[in-house]
């Protein structure tokens, strides 16, 4: 079973990639690795952990995933941390900060044994960051893995969070622009997609085509798709503005496909804004999906002529990677992790305004041959850079570096 999984990855990423993973994992066999985040469904972090863990297990690593439990005040507080860290000035009322501290303390009570015994603890994003201060008996190495765009943090929020993060042994960011002044080593590891998952696997053409009738789309009109949580940083209203401009130049329809995450309390309000902005427009389809609608999202990304991700801030943007893997050019906001993935004229276009977005939409729809060529390049770009196997290689290298940091030489090899 485990061997079979590795062979499946080898078929997509190459044999050499798998044997390198086996070499890196061999010295870590028997080590316990615990990941902690704040939701099991919805958003990029959960998406990655669902896929990373089975691959680690296939390499005989002893891995666990724990999820913080919190009340609405806790998630209101951490969502405002999230907004603040991505640059929005936010208030930090005492009541919410206490909810944050109390919730992390209560979770620490439950998880302390597991966390203190682990060889490696990887804490994802701000929500569980304060756990470390409750685990003074820790044995292992603790790494703070930041998935969000920290390029322009609102200072009071970062200052508060930095108080917890500074005690970690290392932190990981997706881009150099997100790195901060910290005394410990900072590593750059971009995220990845799983090519074998329901979200990304090949689909029969009939399943893709069925999207049009299932969601009331017009099979004759070119389709623009943005897949995102309903979040203001994803700029759904900017997408609607861009679409309306594009439609004055070329016939086209838009699907805004999304859903919520259990750690994101603002989703419903943003969804209501999007519904209001698109009300009565038969060419804008706002589609709210349950968190497990992976095949449906896969089909939307494949049915699209062009995928949009017009974010204003973006830690990485797995939705961009997913679309590129499906050989779709992406028109993406010129920000954060989108800059790593969307290379102008190669894999898509980076844009800043609805006007710029509309012009790129028109250009691509008028140049189908260029669009197809970009799509081919996009898929290879992801194969080289953003598959789960590369991501895990970097995690394993980081764990070896932390464990054997003082040694002059780290011996690798299947043992
Ligand atoms: N996603 C999903 N359902 C939705 C919206 C998003 O499954 O309704 C998935 C999407 O396909 C991607 C992840 O959630 O895999 C979002 O990751 P991304 O890095 O794009 O953004 P985040 O939500 O983490 O800010």
> Do 381 and 393 fall within a single domain?
no
Q: Is residue 410 part of a domain?
A: no
Q: Which pLDDT value is given to residue 264? A: 86
> Do 234 and 182 fall within a single domain?
no
Nearest protein CA to atom 11 of ligand 1, as residue = 319
Q: With a 6 A CB cut-off, is 297 part of the ligand 1 pocket?
A: yes
Give the ligand 1 atom nearest the CA of 257: 8
Give the ligand 1 atom nearest the CA of 259: 8
Give the ligand 1 atom nearest the CA of 314: 25
CATH number of the structural domain spanning residue 261: 3.40.50.2000
Q: How far is the CA of 317 from the centre of ligand 1 (A)?
A: 8
Residue 332 DSSP code:
E
The encoded tokens of residue 213 equal: 């009738």
Give the ligand 1 atom nearest the CA of 233: 25
Q: With a 6 A CB cut-off, is 314 part of the ligand 1 pocket?
A: no
| pLDDT tens per residue across span 31-76 | 999 999 999 988 889 999 999 999 999 999 999 999 999 999 999 9
> Do 129 and 167 fall within a single domain?
yes
Q: With a 6 A CB cut-off, is 340 part of the ligand 1 pocket?
A: no
Nearest protein CA to atom 14 of ligand 1, as residue = 43
Q: Which pLDDT value is given to residue 105? A: 98
Q: Which pLDDT value is given to residue 413? A: 63
Q: With a 6 A CB cut-off, is 12 part of the ligand 1 pocket?
A: no
Q: How far is the CA of 337 from the centre of ligand 1 (A)?
A: 14
> Do 278 and 303 fall within a single domain?
yes
Q: Is residue 409 part of a domain?
A: no
Ligand 1 mutation target, pool 293, 319, 330, 382, most atoms within 8 A of CB: 319
Whether the Cβ atoms of residue 335 and residue 312 lie closer than 8 Å to each other? yes
Which residues of the chain have a pLDDT value below 70? 406, 410, 413-415
Q: With a 6 A CB cut-off, is 70 part of the ligand 1 pocket?
A: no
Q: Is residue 139 part of a domain?
A: yes
Q: Which pLDDT value is given to residue 3? A: 86
**In Å, how far from its chain's centre is CA 149?**
11
| pLDDT tens per residue across span 325-342 | 999 999 999 999 999 999
> Do 177 and 102 fall within a single domain?
yes
Nearest protein CA to atom 24 of ligand 1, as residue = 44
> Do 165 and 70 fall within a single domain?
yes
Whether the Cβ atoms of residue 57 and residue 63 lie closer than 8 Å to each other? yes
Q: How far is the CA of 320 from the centre of ligand 1 (A)?
A: 10
> Do 33 and 166 fall within a single domain?
yes
Q: Which of 308, 288, 284, 285 is nearest to 296 (CA)?
A: 288
Give the ligand 1 atom nearest the CA of 47: 15
3-state secondary structure the chain: CHHHHHHHHHHHHCHHHHHHHHHHHHHHCCCEEEEEECCCCCCHHHHHHHHHHHHHHHCCCEEEEEECCCCHHHHHHHHHHHHHHCCCCCCCCHHHHHHHHHHHHHHHHHHHHHHHHCCEEEEECCCCHHHHHHCCCCCCEEEEECCCCCCCCCHHHHHHHHHHHCCCCEEEECCHHHCCCCCCCEEECCCCECCCCCCCCCCCHHHHHHHHHHCCCCCCCCEEEEECCCCHHHCHHHHHHHHHHHHCCCCCEEEEEECCCCCCCCHHHHHHHHHHHHCCCCCEEEEECCCCCHHHHHHHHHHCCEEEECCCCCCCCHHHHHHHHCCCCEEEECCCCHHHHCCECCCEEEECCHHHHHHHHHHHHHCHHHHHHHHHHHHHHHHHHCEHHHHHHHHHHHHHHHHCCCCCCCCCCCC
Domain encompassing residue 165: 2-192+387-404
Q: Is residue 411 part of a domain?
A: no
d(C-alpha 295, C-alpha 206), whole Å:
13
> Do 184 and 278 fall within a single domain?
no
d(C-alpha 323, C-alpha 310), whole Å:
13
Q: With a 6 A CB cut-off, is 208 part of the ligand 1 pocket?
A: no
Q: How far is the CA of 261 from the centre of ligand 1 (A)?
A: 9
The encoded tokens of residue 131 equal: 């756990």
Q: Is residue 392 part of a domain?
A: yes
> Do 153 and 294 fall within a single domain?
no
> Do 393 and 359 fall within a single domain?
no
Q: Which pLDDT value is given to residue 407? A: 75
Q: Is residue 173 part of a domain?
A: yes
> Do 372 and 395 fall within a single domain?
no
> Do 327 and 399 fall within a single domain?
no
Q: Is residue 89 part of a domain?
A: yes
Q: Which pLDDT value is given to residue 412? A: 73
Ligand 1 mutation target, pool 51, 174, 229, most atoms within 8 A of CB: 229
Q: Which of 100, 194, 183, 189 is nearest to 146 (CA)?
A: 189
Q: How far is the CA of 270 from the centre of ligand 1 (A)?
A: 15
The encoded tokens of residue 322 equal: 């997913």
The tokens 């598959």 sit on which residue?
A: 387
Whether the Cβ atoms of residue 404 and residue 410 lie closer than 8 Å to each other? yes
Q: How many domains does the chain have?
A: 2
Q: Is residue 333 part of a domain?
A: yes
């Amino acid at each position: 079973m485990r061997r079979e999984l590795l062979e499946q990855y080898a078929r997509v990423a190459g044999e050499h990639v798998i044997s390198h993973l086996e070499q890196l994992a061999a010295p870590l066999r028997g080590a316990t690795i615990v990941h902690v985040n704040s939701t099991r469904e919805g958003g990029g972090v959960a998406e990655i952990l669902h896929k990373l863990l089975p691959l680690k297990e296939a390499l005989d690593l002893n891995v666990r995933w724990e999820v913080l439990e919190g009340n609405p005040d806790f998630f209101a507080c951490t969502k405002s941390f999230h907004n603040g860290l991505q640059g929005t000035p936010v208030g930090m009322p005492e009541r919410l900060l206490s909810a944050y501290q109390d919730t992390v303390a209560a979770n620490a009570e439950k998880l302390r044994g597991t966390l203190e015994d682990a060889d490696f603890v990887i804490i994802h994003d701000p929500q569980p960051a304060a756990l470390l201060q409750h685990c003074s008996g820790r044995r292992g190495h603790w790494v703070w893995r930041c998935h969000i765009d920290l390029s322009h943090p609102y200072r009071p929020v970062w200052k508060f969070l930095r108080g917890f993060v500074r005690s970690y042994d290392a932190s990981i960011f997706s881009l150099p622009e997100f790195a901060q002044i910290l005394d410990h080593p900072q590593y750059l590891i971009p995220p990845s997609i799983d090519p074998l998952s329901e979200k990304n696997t090949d689909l029969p053409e009939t399943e893709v085509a069925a999207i049009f009738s299932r969601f009331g789309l017009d099979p004759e009109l070119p389709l623009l798709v943005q897949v995102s949580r309903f979040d203001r940083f994803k700029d759904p209203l900017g997408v609607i503005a861009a679409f309306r401009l594009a439609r004055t130049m070329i016939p086209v329809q838009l699907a805004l496909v999304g859903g919520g995450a259990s750690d994101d309390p603002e989703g419903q309000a943003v969804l209501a804004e999007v519904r209001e902005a698109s009300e009565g427009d038969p060419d804008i389809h706002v589609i709210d999906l349950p968190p497990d609608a992976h095949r449906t999202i896969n089909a939307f990304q494949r049915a699209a002529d062009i995928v949009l991700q017009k974010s204003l801030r973006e830690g990485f943007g797995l939705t961009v990677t997913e679309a590129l893997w499906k050989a779709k050019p992406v028109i993406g906001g010129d920000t954060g992790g989108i800059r790593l993935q969307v290379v102008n004229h190669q894999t898509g276009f980076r844009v800043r305004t609805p006007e710029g977005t509309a012009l790129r939409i028109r250009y691509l729809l008028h140049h189908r041959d260029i669009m197809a060529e970009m799509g081919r390049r996009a898929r290879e770009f992801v194969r080289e850079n953003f598959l789960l196997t590369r991501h895990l290689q970097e995690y394993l290298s980081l764990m070896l570096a932390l464990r054997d940091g003082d040694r002059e030489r780290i011996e690798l090899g299947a043992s």
